[in-house]
Amino acid sequence: MTTSLAALHIAKKHLGLDDDTYRAKLANLTGKTSAKDMTETERVQVLAVFRNEGFKPDNRQSSKALSGKYAKKLQALWIAGYNLGVFRDRRDSALLAFVKRQTGIDHVRFLHFPDDAHKAIEALKAWLKREAGVMYGNTNGFDWLAKDGAKVAWAQWKILHPDASLSARNGFDETVSALLGKPVLYLAAVTDREWHTVMNGLGVEVRKKRPCPKT
């Protein structure tokens, strides 16, 4: 298993960063010029930014395990649950076990029929809504909440900051900017991919606060 420290060095090479550029990026994101001096949370946040900039860890085994028309959607929901502290195990094998419980089908690659896929997808959404307050199907009048990634990120923020409200977001916008490594003037402009980066960054803190998820 690749450590976060090793992953940063791999990302540096993958992105073609020279030493000065790499250290400048680290300093801009964390105030530290060496990955060794960072906390694990800081390293994960930097990795999230690097992924947003094009770094792609070697996930060939995971991609091979999850093939099929609905695999990407199911995996996205499962990882969201992990980042919300609802699921302990983010591995594909845990997702496959869930799919089998819901549909009786052994592998997501066999989910060719919309009814079977819909059953698994809606069951996951209902679980995340019940256990973590994700507002699926509801934007409360805020256009930036139209994306599912934004809904998950806001649910994470509410776990970390229970007193936050949509009208007074208690630093949410600033944290999104910090995790993306750029100023975000309008949350509605954040892309699906960028919300994924934000979710991964917030997930580190959420899992500390919710150490005993259900599965």
What is the pLDDT confidence band of residue 194, given thresholds at 50, 70 and 90? very high
User: Of 107, 132, 157, which residue sits at a domain end?
Assistant: 132
122 and 148 in a single domain? The answer is: no
190 and 147 in a single domain? The answer is: yes
Residue range 65-76, pLDDT digits in tens = 566 678 888 889
Global pTM reads: 0.66
Cα(108)–Cα(104) distance, rounded to whole angstroms?
Answer: 11
Residue range 130-150, pLDDT digits in tens = 999 999 988 888 999 999 999
Residue 22, number of CB atoms within 10 A of its CB: 20
DSSP3 helix / strand / coil % (the chain, rounded to 5)? 65, 0, 35
Residue 215 falls inside a structural domain:
no
47 and 98 in a single domain? The answer is: no
Residue 25 falls inside a structural domain:
yes
152 and 192 in a single domain? The answer is: yes
- Is the model more confident about 129 or about 44? 129
Residue 89 falls inside a structural domain:
yes
Farthest-apart Cα atoms in the chain, separation: 54
Domain of residue 16, residue span: 4-52
64 and 99 in a single domain? The answer is: yes
Q: Which of 53, 56, 10 is nearest to 28 (CA)?
A: 53
Cα(165)–Cα(146) distance, rounded to whole angstroms?
Answer: 17
Q: What are phi and psi of 179, to 5 degrees?
A: -70, -30
How many structural domains does the chain have? 3
Class of residue 112 by CB neighbours under 10 A (exposed 0-12, middle 13-18, buried 19+): exposed
Q: And the tokens for 102?
A: 């819901």
User: Of 111, 132, 153, which residue sits at a domain end?
Assistant: 132
Q: And the tokens for 107?
A: 């592998």
